[in-house]
Structure 1
Amino acid sequence: MIKRIIEISNPARLSLKNRQMVVDREGFESVSVPIEDIGVLILDHSAIAHTQGILAACSENNVAVLICNARHLPGAILLPIEGNSLHSKTIAQQAQITEPTRKRLWQEIVKAKICEQANVLLNAKVDNHPLPAYVKMVRSGDPDNYEAQAARIYWQRLFGKTFRRDPDGFGINILLNYGYAVMRAAVARAIVGAGLHPSMGLHHHNQYNAFCLADDLLEPLRPAVDRKVYELCKRLPDEPALTPESKRTLLETLGVDCTINGQRLPLMTSLHHYAANIRKAICDGQKRVEIPAL
C-alpha cells in the first residue's frame, strides 16, 4: 500500500492515541490517521502544537516529518536514526565505498536524469535538442559535466529563454523548490529504510549538508516535479504561486506510476526499491542499478 502524504497548514494540535495520529482543530471534529499509513507528514503553520509521543511514533514508523519555514517551504526534516536491522554494518560498508563504484553510480544517476529531462521536453512537444545524445556521452563520474550542459538547455527549452533556476526565487522557482523538498524528504526516508546514511553522498559533499546522498538520488527524480510544475503553469493564467491547490498538485507527484525492476509502481513505493538497489551496489558490488523511470 502506498503511504499517505499529509500536510497540515492550519492551527492544530497533534497527539497520539491507539497508534493513531489525532488532529484537533478548534471548531472542527477530531480527525485520526493510523501512523503506519503515513509516509510524509508536512507541518506548515506556526501555531501547530504536537506531543512528544507523536514524534516518537513517527520515528518508529519511518515517517519523514517536514517542518516548513515562513515561505511555506520545508526547512527541516525529522528522520529516525536507525531504519534497518543491519544499520551499523551497512553504514560501515557505505563509508568504505570505492572511488570507481562512486563514479559509476554517479554516471548512472546523471544518465537517468538527462534521459528523464529529455522525456519531459518530449511531453512538452519540444524537440531539436541534444539531450538524448548527451545520455550516451556521460562517462564515469561525469568529468565533462554533461549534467550542467543538459540543464542549461533544458530549463530554457522548458520555461523560456528568460528563465533562471533560483533556489531562493518565486514564481516557477518556488513551485520547483516545494516539489523538490518534499521529494527529497521521501528519498531520505527510503535511504534510512535501506540502512544507509543520508549524509554520506556519492557526488554531493558538504560538511554542512546532512542529506548529501538524498541529494544524489534525488537528481533523476527532479524531472517528475518539473513536469508537474510545467503542467501547472500551462493551466494557471497568472504568475505561478504556492497555493493550497498548487501544493496539492505537487504532492501528487509521489503517486505517479513509474517503472523499476520491471514493475509499474507508484513513485513513493519505487523509492524503496531504488534505495535498496543503491545499497546492493555499495555493499554487495551489484553492477546494475535500477532507477525509477517515468
Structure 2
Amino acid sequence: MTIVELSTHGSSLRRKGERFVVGRKDEATGETKKQEVPAEHVEAILVSANAMISTSAIRLCTERQIQLVMADWVGHPFARMWSSTPGRQTEIRRAQYAALDAEVGNEITRDLVMEKLRGQAGLLRDLKNNRGEGAPREIDEGLEAVRAAAHSARTLPNSRELRSKMLGIEGSAASRYFAALSAALPAQWRFSGRSQNPGTDPFNASLNYMYGIGYSGVAKVAILSGLDPNAGFYHADRYGHPVLTYDLIEPCRPAIDRALLPLFTKREAAESWFERNYAGDPDGEEAPAAGNAVRISPDGRKRLITVYKAQVKDELERATWERCRKITRTLIGGAHR
C-alpha cells in the first residue's frame, strides 16, 4: 500500500477511472510531471502544499475509504475528509471507543509499554557492551530496573486499574533509565533527572525538542490510519489533546534517545547550541519559562532536525503505521468476539 504525498506547490490530484492522476510541478524546470496510481494501492493521501484536488478525486477517496488529509508545511495535520456514509472507518472508530475501558484497551496498553521497555533495554544493553568493563554502574542498574519493569508489565493481571498501575511500573524504571543515560555522557553534559517543559539542561532540552518533532510524525500517521487521535488507551483522555499520539510516541522514544546520544558522547554538541537561563520572550507569543530553562539555538535546532530526518523519521513513521494496523486488527477482532 502507498501513501501519496502532495508536498510541492502547484500539485494536482485528479481521477481517471479507478486511478488517481497525481501532477507534481518540478521546481527547477516548472514542468508538471504526471503519475497514475491505482486507487486499490493507495492507503492514504496527504496534502501539505497548495494543490488543486478535483471533486471526482475526492469521491474516489470516499468510495475506496482512503483517508484524505490536509497538513501544514511541516506535515502536521489540520483537517481531513471522510465519507458521509458508514464504512470501515466508522467500524474502526466505534470499536476504538468501545475498547477504551475494556480488556482490548488493556491489551493495546500492555503492548505499547512492553515495546517501549524493550527498546530501552536494548539501548542500555548496547551502551554496556560498547563500554565493556568500564561501563558505569548506573547502566547496569538502569538495565536491571527496566528488565524488572518489563517483567511486571508482562505479568500484571487485567483490571480496571491496569493503566494506572502500568504508569507506576514504567515511572519506577524511568529514573534509573535516565540516570544511566546521564552516566554515559561526558561530565559537562550530565544531568540530574528528566526535565520537561522546559528542559533545564542541554540534554533534556534536546530530547524534548526531538520528541516534539516525533509527535508530528506520529500524529500524521494516526490520522491517516483512520483511528481517532483524541481517544487514547494508555494516557487519560484530555479534552482537546491528541492522547492517542501520546500513546503511540511511547515505543518511539528509545529510538530518539539512541539517535541523540552520539551527538553528546562523540562531543559534537557545543555550547553554541543552547541558550541557558532562558526566560522566554516577554514581547512574543512564547510563554515565560523558568529561570533555569535551556532553549535550543537556531544552530542547535538545525543539527537536531538533520539527525532526526536522517536517523529517525522514516523508521518512526514506518513503525507507527505497523502499530496502527495492529491496533486496528486488535480492535476489529475484539469487537467481533
TM exceeding 0.5:
yes
C-alpha distance in structure 2 between counterparts of 1:233 and 1:212, whole Å: 31
Deviation per residue, 1:49-76 (Å, 9 max, x gap): x63648x99x9875673567xxxxx9x5
Task: Check conservation: 1:116, 1:220, Cα contact below 8 A.
Answer: yes
Q: 2:152 is matched by which residue type in structure 1?
A: M
Per-residue deviation, residues 126-167 of structure 1 (Å, max 9, x unmatched): 323321111001224251611111211112211344243213
Letter in structure 1 aligned against 2:270: D
Deviations 1:210-236 (A, max 9, x none): x11121121111111111111222232
- The equivalent position to 2:91 in structure 1, one of 89, 111, 116, is 89
Partner of 1:282: 331
Distance verdict in 2 for CA 1:275–1:171, change over 3 Å: same
Match of 1:238 in 2: 270
Bigger CA radius of gyration: 2
TM-score of the superposition, structure 2-length normalised?
Answer: 0.61
1:164 maps to a residue whose letter is R
Q: Give the SS at the match of 2:141.
A: coil
Aligned to 1:248: 306
Name the Cα RMSD after superposition.
4.0
Is there any run of 5+ residues in structure 2 with no aligned partner, and where? 14-21, 129-138, 183-189, 274-295
Moved over 4 A (4+): 1-7, 20-24, 28-42, 59-64
Decide whether the 8 Å contact of 2:259 with 2:312 is kept in 1: no
Q: Distance in 1 between matches of 2:45 and 2:202?
A: 28
Give the one of 153, 161, 175 matched to 1:152: 175
Gaps of 5+ in 1: 8-12, 43-49, 69-73, 257-265, 287-294
Q: Is residue 102 from structure 1 mapped to residue 105 from structure 2 by the alignment?
A: yes
* CA deviations over 1:222-275 (Å, ceiling 9, x no partner): 11111111122223241354332321111223456xxxxxxxxx4433322210
* Higher relative helix content: 2
Of the candidates 98, 103, 122, which is equivalent to residue 125 of structure 2?
122
Percent of residue pairs identical? 19
Work out whether residues 116 and 223 of structure 1, in 8 Å CA contact, stay in contact via their aligned partners in 2: yes
The number of equivalent residue pairs is: 254
Of the three residues 192, 197, 203, the one matched with 2:228 is 197
Structure with more contact order per residue of length (Cα contacts < 8 Å, sep ≥ 6): 1
Provide TM-score, normalisation by structure 1: 0.68
- Write the mapping of 1:1-294 to structure 2, written as runs, cut at 5 A: 14-17=9-12, 19-20=22-23, 22=25, 51=50, 53=52, 65-66=71-72, 77-78=77-78, 80-82=80-82, 86-97=88-99, 98-125=101-128, 126-129=139-142, 130-138=145-153, 139=156, 140=158, 141-142=162-163, 143=165, 145-159=168-182, 160-169=190-199, 171-204=202-235, 205-209=237-241, 211-235=242-266, 236-239=268-271, 240=273, 241=296, 242-254=300-312, 266-285=315-334
